[in-house]
Chain A
Amino acid sequence: MITSPAFVIDPAVLRDHGITPDEYEKIKQLLGGREPSHTELGIFSVMWSEHCSYKSSRVHLKRLPTRSRLVLQGPGENAGIIDIGDGWACAFKIESHNHPSFIEPFQGATTGVGGILRDIFTMGARPVAVMDSLRFGPISSNSGLSVQPGAAAPTQAEIHKNHSVMEGVVSGVASYGNCFGVPNLGGETKFEPCYSGNPLVNAFALGLVKKNEIFYAKAAGAGNPVIYVGAKTGRDGIHGATMASEEFSETSEAKRPNVQVGDPFLEKLLLEACLEAMQTGAIIGIQDMGAAGLTCSTCEMGARGGVGLEIEMDRVPQRETGMTAYEIMLSESQERMLLVAQKGREAEVYRVFEKWGLDAVQVGHVIAENTMRVLEHGNVVAEIPNQALTDDAPVYKRPLQRWEPPVPREKPEHIQWNAGKDHTSDLRRLLASSNICSKRWVWQQYDSMVQTNTVEGPGAGDAGVIRIKDSQRGLAMALDGNGRWCYLDPRLGAMHAVAEAARNVACAGAVPVGATNCLNFGNPEKPHIMWQFSQAIDGITKACEELDVPITGGNVSFYNETLGEGIYPTPVLGIVGIIEDIRQAVHPGFREAGKTVVLLRGSDPGDMADAEPEFGSSEYAKEILGALWGYPPALDLEKEAALQKAVIEMAQAQLLDSAHDCSDGGIAVTLAESAFSKGMGIKVNLVSRGLPSEFVLFAEDASRMVISCDRGKLHGIQQVAVKYGIAADVIGETVPEKIEISVDGAVAVSANVNELHKVFEESLEKALRTEPELVAAD
């Protein structure tokens, strides 16, 4: 072993590499007592980073349910895979790119999308849909009160910064996905003060693959060639994974060079070339170079196959001169893949990559020892047992400390309920609020229709739906997460994220079959953050078990803190469902006048003692009352499961005209949203059961949906409801033009649908247009 003589490992070097003294002792022990070389230290630094090793989360993630009869591949590969029937499978996963997106919003977001797409097609699946879950700080000063404890109202400078982060992220997501040619089916965009210094960019992707054509990131066969394909390696992104494993400070912007730069055109070529090369049958295993680049793909492919990879740095295509082994191994340059081919069939692989104008170079070969060996100019610069970097990476059982949010659990006294008040203006304000309003400004920048499979695109509501060509089937997918609820109660909040994503998928008529999670949290070294994390895992576990949706993979993003201020704990769930016959897909919008409107309800509304603390976590409390108190709504998972099964059965029996989940803003917002798609009105009466009208209209009780149907199908619907033990109350009918919602017979909301629709549609754009109109310079 040759180490650089000039290189001395002292505490400062270790600190720069994010390695603790204890970890360093363990490294030496795993290397048989010797000191690591500079390159080896870099390799350990990225592989043992929180981002790659999951060292704080691993003990908790083990609790997640990961199996069902449809799961073909659970966590541990590049993406999870579910059997969807007819010989098809789908690969899907969600990943965060929060840290880079704050430092360099456009490139941070593009490379987030690029990374998740590679995770999908490295498994042999063609990406057919993406979605994203975005969180930003407030974009207007009047968007409710700042409910983050101790935080002042956002300043103009903060708002402008949030605008520019949002603009950059959205155009980054758009630029990458549009060029790559994958439809973006929307997702969710939410705003809270806690995301001002730490936006969340979670990208979800889904791909289709024939069940017998799945590829794995597993090397095999000593002597087989290791081939590097795609973009050349540069100095970008070095220590990106390490950066994602620490908090932000004032100096974080100086880390801009750590952010990689994406090229979607190259990725499109890489996709086509990889899928075509896989068809040759000459490829044994393949893995993308994402976080920790060549390092990660080299040791993981070896580890999975119980073999080793030996690679020579001089052969790696480089776009800069004078790169050291350290830099090459740690570079996170985008659009690269590493594959192992059958010896003697290299030419078949090269031919395909040459056709697509891409580099494909043999950089090494498979060796029998379970070791990663790196050579530079023929000299060994790193030789590390694969297990030392993967299975033997540190695992921490970090201390947990139960935590109470600094928020009252009871309603503040100054807030009074107004029985019988006209709530039209409340509804208008909610529809205009940043969390509820139409995100058209966002998703209209995304190509949502390329590949001509989009049955339900972004905007209309609950889930994205695509058809599968040459098959009757379709897939539905939804993303959900509610940070504010998780802040109040991480376990219950996380259960809601699962329940709502699954409910959204069920609303489309699809059976939820698999989930992926993106867990965005603060600094895990703080016991209360670790407690939030553990609670959230418990919540997800419970809900996934009850709703029968296994977790097939995902991503943990810790250290989402700036200047010591953490974000709301924000687990985001992506759930995929199967529609057996795409013609039975249900849309969220009312279709025509004269249809019966029914409220499906899993659980009964509680009394005042239950309802009041729950109302404090609603959008109404935040936006209209400028307050936050209490708890998330109660959730009975058994009833939730019954509701979902019922609506799916109704969809399959073609009893439904529309189905839309009740969530943010309560039933009033749900009704308005369903009315908007065709400019339909409604005349509805709701029963108060003695609760204030605010609760009746705007409370966010779980397990509810608004459906519409032909009067003649009501009987069938009620039969299904009885079968599953859920309530199906007729609340009114669709009418032309006017939205009229009464409570106990007294009109509480009355407005023209087009007027409300305009408010809903335009408010985001208005909030973002704070600058005076540009005037031509000459």
Chain B
Amino acid sequence: MKFGVITFPGSNCDHDAYWAAQQVSGQKAAFLWHESHDLENCDAIIVPGGFSYGDYLRTGAIAKFSPVMESVRKFAASGGLVLGICNGFQILCESGLLPGALLRNVGLKFICKPVHLRVENADTPFTSACHKGEVLTIPIAHMEGNYFCDESTLAELQRERRIVFRYSNAEGEITAQANPNGSLDNIAGICNAGRNILGMMPHPERASAPELGCVEGLRIFESLATALATK
């Protein structure tokens, strides 16, 4: 089992994702360079956080044209597991692998803080180690995390249970106050219809060790490891 973590120019959470993936799976992880088409036989791809290509033009707008993303599209089309975190989520949306877009936070400021997430769907390869309705504490750190899509897409996401995480309070209630960035329907993470692509704004790799104050992000990596082991 091997995790592949993409490095774009400007990625700055690639090492963090690499570290967390290795910690959990106890297996190999590899950095994948943006200019290469080679996914080096990785079993799951992580599109990490950061400021790919400086986030010039629009977050994720340039990354979608990179050679590595061509391979990621093919990999995903054949059922490969792809996890996009923060800037990775933005890139997946720009690439058309996930619907919708991430707009600037309603407060117009960068926000870095731990938030509560309610697991809306535990029946995905990314959340099998959680149970539905469970509240995880995982940090966010973004300027553009305000999820938006049109009404029919939202209805589709809801109908197909593709909203995987929603911002909630500690008790698991979905409230306006618990929504840090103005996301539509408190959406923090969604998956594709095939359930093999997940995009999420919160950073599970940052909630990955007791010294860091939180370990609940590891559940995402554990779920992935389980999915790969049973594949």
Residues of chain A touching chain B, judged by Cβ–Cβ distance below 8 Å, are: 171, 174-175, 178-181, 263-266, 268-269, 356-357, 444-455, 467, 469, 582-583, 585
Known contacts A454-B212, A469-B19, then 12 further A-B pairs from the complex at CB < 8 Å, ordered by chain A residue: A174-B110, A180-B12, A265-B10, A269-B10, A445-B111, A447-B141, A448-B112, A450-B49, A451-B16, A452-B20, A452-B208, A467-B211
* Cα(A453)–Cα(B16), bound, Å: 9
**Is B51 in contact with A265, judged by CB distance below 8 angstroms?**
yes
**Is B211 in contact with A582, judged by CB distance below 8 angstroms?**
yes
**Is B112 in contact with A268, judged by CB distance below 8 angstroms?**
no
Q: Is B145 among interface residues, defined by CB-CB distance under 8 A? A: no
* Cα(A403)–Cα(B53), bound, Å: 54
* Cα(A450)–Cα(B19), bound, Å: 12
| Total inter-chain residue pairs, C-beta < 8 Å | 87
* Cα(A583)–Cα(B209), bound, Å: 12
Complex interface: chain A residues within 8 A of B159 (CB): none
* Cα(A266)–Cα(B51), bound, Å: 11
**Is B51 in contact with A449, judged by CB distance below 8 angstroms?**
no
* Cα(A100)–Cα(B10), bound, Å: 26
**Is A451 in contact with B54, judged by CB distance below 8 angstroms?**
no
For the complex formed, measure the closest distance between the CB of A161 and the CB atoms of chain B, giving whole angstroms. Answer: 20
Q: Can you name 21 A-B residue pairings with CB atoms under 8 Å?
A: A175-B110, A181-B13, A181-B50, A264-B51, A264-B54, A265-B55, A268-B10, A269-B10, A356-B9, A444-B112, A445-B112, A446-B112, A449-B112, A449-B141, A449-B203, A449-B206, A450-B49, A452-B16, A467-B212, A469-B19, A583-B211
**Is B53 in contact with A265, judged by CB distance below 8 angstroms?**
yes
Complex interface: chain A residues within 8 A of B231 (CB): none
Question: B34-73 toward A: CB 8 Å interface, digit per residue (1/0)?
Answer: 0000000000000001110111100000000000000000
**Is A452 in contact with B205, judged by CB distance below 8 angstroms?**
yes
Interface size class of B (residues with CB under 8 A): 20 to 34
Q: Residue of B at shortest CB range from A263?
A: B54
Q: Is B125 among interface residues, defined by CB-CB distance under 8 A? A: no
**Is B211 in contact with A451, judged by CB distance below 8 angstroms?**
no
Complex interface: chain A residues within 8 A of B132 (CB): none
Q: Residue of B at shortest CB range from A446?
A: B112
For the complex formed, measure the closest distance between the CB of A23 and the CB atoms of chain B, giving whole angstroms. Answer: 42
For the complex formed, measure the closest distance between the CB of B182 and the CB atoms of chain A, giving whole angstroms. Answer: 13
Known A178-B110, A449-B112, A449-B141; judge A455-B212 contact (CB<8 A).
yes
Question: B77-108 toward A: CB 8 Å interface, digit per residue (1/0)?
Answer: 00000000000000000000000000000000
Which B194-229 residues have C-beta < 8 A from chain A? 203, 205-206, 208-209, 211-213
Contact of B16 among A180, A264, A450, A467 (CB under 8 A): A450
Complex interface: chain B residues within 8 A of A174 (CB): 109-110
For the complex formed, measure the closest distance between the CB of A93 and the CB atoms of chain B, giving whole angstroms. Answer: 22
Complex interface: chain B residues within 8 A of A583 (CB): 211
**Is B109 in contact with A171, judged by CB distance below 8 angstroms?**
yes
For the complex formed, measure the closest distance between the CB of A100 and the CB atoms of chain B, giving whole angstroms. Answer: 22
9 closest Cβ contacts across the A-B interface? A181-B12, A265-B54, A179-B51, A452-B16, A447-B141, A449-B206, A445-B110, A447-B112, A455-B211
**Is A447 in contact with B110, judged by CB distance below 8 angstroms?**
yes
Contact of B13 among A175, A450, A453, A469 (CB under 8 A): A450
Q: Residue of A at shortest CB range from B16?
A: A452
Complex interface: chain A residues within 8 A of B15 (CB): 451
Complex interface: chain A residues within 8 A of B212 (CB): 449, 452-455, 467
Q: Residue of B at shortest CB range from A272?
A: B9
Q: Residue of B at shortest CB range from A458?
A: B112
* Cα(A486)–Cα(B16), bound, Å: 42
Complex interface: chain A residues within 8 A of B113 (CB): 444
* Cα(A450)–Cα(B212), bound, Å: 11
For the complex formed, measure the closest distance between the CB of B163 and the CB atoms of chain A, giving whole angstroms. Answer: 25
Max count, chain A CB within 10 A of own CB: residue among B51, B112, B213: B112
Q: Residue of B at shortest CB range from A180?
A: B12
Known A171-B109, A174-B110, A445-B112; judge A179-B10 contact (CB<8 A).
yes
Q: Is B189 among interface residues, defined by CB-CB distance under 8 A? A: no
Max count, chain A CB within 10 A of own CB: residue among B51, B56, B208: B51
Q: Residue of A at shortest CB range from B113?
A: A444
* Cα(A594)–Cα(B65), bound, Å: 58
Complex interface: chain B residues within 8 A of A356 (CB): 9
Q: Is B139 among interface residues, defined by CB-CB distance under 8 A? A: yes
For the complex formed, measure the closest distance between the CB of A110 and the CB atoms of chain B, giving whole angstroms. Answer: 13
For the complex formed, measure the closest distance between the CB of A354 and the CB atoms of chain B, giving whole angstroms. Answer: 11
For the complex formed, measure the closest distance between the CB of B200 and the CB atoms of chain A, giving whole angstroms. Answer: 15
* Cα(A530)–Cα(B211), bound, Å: 46
Complex interface: chain A residues within 8 A of B206 (CB): 449-450, 452
**Is A268 in contact with B205, judged by CB distance below 8 angstroms?**
no
Contact of B56 among A265, A357, A446, A453 (CB under 8 A): A265
For the complex formed, measure the closest distance between the CB of B114 and the CB atoms of chain A, giving whole angstroms. Answer: 9
Max count, chain B CB within 10 A of own CB: residue among A265, A449, A453: A449
Complex interface: chain A residues within 8 A of B20 (CB): 452
For the complex formed, measure the closest distance between the CB of A226 and the CB atoms of chain B, giving whole angstroms. Answer: 26
**Is B50 in contact with A269, judged by CB distance below 8 angstroms?**
no
Complex interface: chain A residues within 8 A of B49 (CB): 450
Known A450-B141, A452-B206, A467-B211; judge A444-B111 contact (CB<8 A).
yes
**Is B55 in contact with A179, judged by CB distance below 8 angstroms?**
yes
For the complex formed, measure the closest distance between the CB of A472 and the CB atoms of chain B, giving whole angstroms. Answer: 11
**Is B109 in contact with A178, judged by CB distance below 8 angstroms?**
no
* Cα(A556)–Cα(B44), bound, Å: 51
For the complex formed, measure the closest distance between the CB of A129 and the CB atoms of chain B, giving whole angstroms. Answer: 14
